[in-house]
């Protein structure tokens, strides 16, 4: 099986291909045991170490022969000539599609995901940031979330609520049941009745336009400055809303990547951090695949600075173009990570379409 096959489309458990090798029970058992040993510490696995497993205590020649067969099938490879073997990119991809057993998440994880995401359901950016944090926390890898810019979305509702004497919450409702919220720091106190009057004026002036035009008019439109209370709110909105509302690639848990044995050499971590900063390739990779299902891009290409890593991503179905996912070493716990990304992705999609 060529290495390029593993990189063509995200792998989904149970989606077999005609080119998949048919392993004997012995080959399958040896392959699975080697994967388990390599996953523990990221080290190549020697035939001697593998042969210590009680179920594999046969002749060393027999075990070495099976390993050679798996290497010929390109499921295993040797990082150094004469050294131990590790699963190849194709080997991990084969494992995900053919051998992976589904994992059941603990009820407390499911409850925590539902509770924490529901608290952020009114703001797309907050929701996605919380999704990335949850994925990082429970997977102990790098959590990712992405959605398209909201700048061209139509403004369909606007509400102002007092948060104190000199603070107010501006809730901008967008098409597709999404919203943008802003906490305004007012330079002059406004009572609830005054805020309600301002809401009416702003709804009349801004609804029907895009979020970008609303941001621009709040900052520059002289018509909104004629009413003193509206001027106070517009000034506060302009001060706290100076950049376009873009939900670029959101990340959480970078320290988890740094703790992995693969990146004990700090020099190997630098290209990963650069790739996260640019985001372009990861963004394209995250939204590829089947919407509404977690898939695995095993072994992200070396030229993008993410060598030795895999991406589990869930392209969001429905009106929002985006995805959530987890980035980690190829030896990650795929069964648990896929279940977690599926759970968080499905919950985010439900909240965005509610």
Q: What is the per-residue pLDDT across 118-136, written as a single tens digit (0 to 9) for each?
A: 988 777 888 999 999 999 9
Please give the helix or strand (H or E) that residue 50 lies within, else none: helix 47-51
pLDDT, one tens digit per residue, over 68-110 is 999 999 999 998 887 899 999 999 999 999 999 889 999 999 9
pTM given for the model:
0.73
Concatenated DSSP letters of 71-128: HHTTSEE-SSTTS-BEE-HHHHHHIIIIIPPP-PPPHHHHHHHHHHHHTTTT-HHHHH
Strands of 142-147's sheet, edge to edge?
250-252, 142-147, 322-329, 309-315, 295-297
DSSP secondary structure code for residue 45 in this structure? B
| Predicted local confidence at residue 60, as pLDDT | 65
Residues β-bridged to residue 175? none
pLDDT of residue 340 exceeding 80: yes
pLDDT of residue 53 exceeding 90: no
| Contact between residue 137 and residue 253 where contact means Cβ atoms under 8 Å apart | yes
Concatenated DSSP letters of 200-251: HHHHHHHTTSBHHHHHHHHHH-GGGGSSHHHHHHHHHHHHH--S------EE
Count CB neighbours of 8 within 10 A. 11
pLDDT, one tens digit per residue, over 171-215 is 888 776 567 777 888 999 998 899 999 999 999 999 999 888 988
| Predicted local confidence at residue 352, as pLDDT | 81
| Predicted local confidence at residue 242, as pLDDT | 63
Q: What is the mean pLDDT of the chain?
A: 85
| Contact between residue 10 and residue 313 where contact means Cβ atoms under 8 Å apart | yes
């Amino acid at each position: 099986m060529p290495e390029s096959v593993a990189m063509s489309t995200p792998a989904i458990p149970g989606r077999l291909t005609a080119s998949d090798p048919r392993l004997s029970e012995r080959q399958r058992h040896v392959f699975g045991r080697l994967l388990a040993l390599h996953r523990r510490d990221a080290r190549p696995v020697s035939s001697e170490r593998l042969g210590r497993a009680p179920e594999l205590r046969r002749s060393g020649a027999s075990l070495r022969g099976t390993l050679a067969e798996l290497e010929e099938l390109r499921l295993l490879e040797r990082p150094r000539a004469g050294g131990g073997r590790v699963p190849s990119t194709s080997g991990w991809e084969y494992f995900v599609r053919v051998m992976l057993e589904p994992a059941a998440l603990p009820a407390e994880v499911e409850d925590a995901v539902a509770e924490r995401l529901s608290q952020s359901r009114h703001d797309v950016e907050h929701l996605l940031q919380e999704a990335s944090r949850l994925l990082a926390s429970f997977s102990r890898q790098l959590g990712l979330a992405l959605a398209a810019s909201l700048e061209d979305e139509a403004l369909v509702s606007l509400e102002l609520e007092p948060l104190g004497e000199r603070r107010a919450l501006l809730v901008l409702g967008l098409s597709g049941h999404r919203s943008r919220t802003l906490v305004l720091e007012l330079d002059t106190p406004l009572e609830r009745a005054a805020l309600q009057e301002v809401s009416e004026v702003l709804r009349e002036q801004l609804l029907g336009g895009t979020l970008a035009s609303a941001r621009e008019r709040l900052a520059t439109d002289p018509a909104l400055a004629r009413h003193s209370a509206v001027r106070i709110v517009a000034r506060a909105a302009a001060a706290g809303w100076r950049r376009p509302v873009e939900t670029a690639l959101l990340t959480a848990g970078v320290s988890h990547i740094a703790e992995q044995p693969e990146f004990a050499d700090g020099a190997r971590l630098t290209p990963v951090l650069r790739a996260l900063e640019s985001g372009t390739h990861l963004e394209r990779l995250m939204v590829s695949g089947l919407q509404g299902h977690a898939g695995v891009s095993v072994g992200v290409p070396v030229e993008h600075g993410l060598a030795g890593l895999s991406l589990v991503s869930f392209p969001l179905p429905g009106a929002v173009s985006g995805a959530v996912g987890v980035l980690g070493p190829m030896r990650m716990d795929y069964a648990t990570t896929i279940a977690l990304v599926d759970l968080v992705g499905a919950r985010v999609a439900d909240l965005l379409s509610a």
